[in-house]
Structure 1
Amino acid sequence: MESFVYHMVPKEIKGDKLIPLNSLKGAHPNLYIKYSKKYFDHPERKKLLTRKIPKLNCLWNDVLHFLPLHPYYVYEALSHIGIKTKEDQLFFKIPIQKLKNNKNACYLYTKEKYRGPAEDIEEDEIKPLDIEDYKELKGIPIETYESYKIHNEKGSRFGLFPFIPHLFSYGEVEIRSVETITWNRLE
């Protein structure tokens, strides 16, 4: 059975490859400015621009970030709690084999170790990934669901993917022939 990783479809994209944000700086400076703005909406988030990823020996925005589970599980949890979401949010459904020429790792992103965007990622939170051993997750962690509930009750802003492991891929990923899905249907 083929395994996939998922990436939110950018509003604007150039060419037929996903490239890391820091690579956009030289290739498409206007897109870099557009997509880096989200790091300046909170004083802690801008520190992500210089956050180092252990074991990959690069920065947070030198890699592509992928979900290791179908985005439907995120949509389902948000909807269950009553959080209004964009119904037709698009994601690329990318066969894991498309990452075979990259250096890949899993960021475990656990509640116990996470100290905020300004803090370093602990070495043991990054696990090198052999794509032949990759398995998709079949649901979100309970900590993610609890985080959604807490932020919803407080009425505060929050990220969509707290405490969901991230797959980091150092390199580019060709998307010319990949399927595009919406997160409100499990396909």
Structure 2
Amino acid sequence: MPESSDPEALRSFTLYHRAVRDVRGDHLLSLNVLRELYPDVYAREAAKYVGREALMQERVGRLDCLWNDVLFFSPVHPGPLLNAVRATGREVPPVRFWTLSAAGLDPAQACVHLPQPWPGGVKPEHDPADERPLDARTLRAVSAPPAGTLARLHALPAGAPLILWMDVPHVLYRGSVPLGALGELRA
């Protein structure tokens, strides 16, 4: 079996998700599942999309679902991203993240999404080529902090919203993840 499609090869990759407060149940759930089970949690989390509501109707072609039907993980360790912000003099206390071995996801229900720049603040048309398979070759290619992201964070004005992940590749997962499968780190 080629290394890139070997599920065992995924064990060497860690994925990151910012830990949420007020966790309900015993699984990490997508936004659309939260809407049905925990409307108050949904309302809090959906507020992140104010001004970007159209994203909530985006389709993830490779997974045949909506953007809000997936969980989002980063293949990039958050430490270098937060340190880029801290290097500007902005005080950022340690942030709690959950960790998950990439082998904990079913590759048939996951993909790596490559974000594209929004020239002039306008979201580009969806390109199916921006959705790659979840395999070791793809994760290896996207697990380092993008240079453009580090430059953006180094130039982040004081008081600007701290959005670490907007231009970082994401692992999208159509499913739930047992909380017991998650580790924790502070960065």
Interval of TM-score (by shorter of Structure 1 and Structure 2): 0.7 to 0.9
Q: Does 1:57 align with 2:64?
A: yes
**TM-superposed deviation, 1:13:** 0.8
Which residue does the alignment assign to 2:95?
Answer: 89
- TM alignment of 1:1-187, pairs within 5 A: 2-40=12-50, 42=51, 45-85=52-92, 87-100=93-106, 103-111=109-117, 114=118, 119-130=124-135, 134-135=139-140, 139-152=144-157, 156-157=160-161, 159-183=163-187
- Gaps of at least 5 residues in structure 1 are none
Corresponding letter in the other structure for 1:59? L
TM-score of the aligned structures, taking structure 2 as reference length: 0.81
Q: TM-score when scaled to structure 1?
A: 0.81
In structure 2, stretches of 5+ residues that fail to align are 1-10
More helix, by proportion:
2
**Structure 1 residue 133: deviation in Å?**
6.6
CA contact (8 A) 1:20 1:63 kept: yes
Deviation, 1:106, is 0.6
Q: Which amino acid aligns with 2:35?
A: K
Give the length in aligned residue pairs: 176
Which region of structure 1 is more displaced relative to structure 2, 136-145 or 68-77? 136-145
**Alpha-carbon distance in 1 for matches of 2:122, 2:131:** 15
Is the contact between residue 47 and residue 117 of structure 1 (CA under 8 Å) also seen in structure 2? no
Identity across matched positions, percent: 24
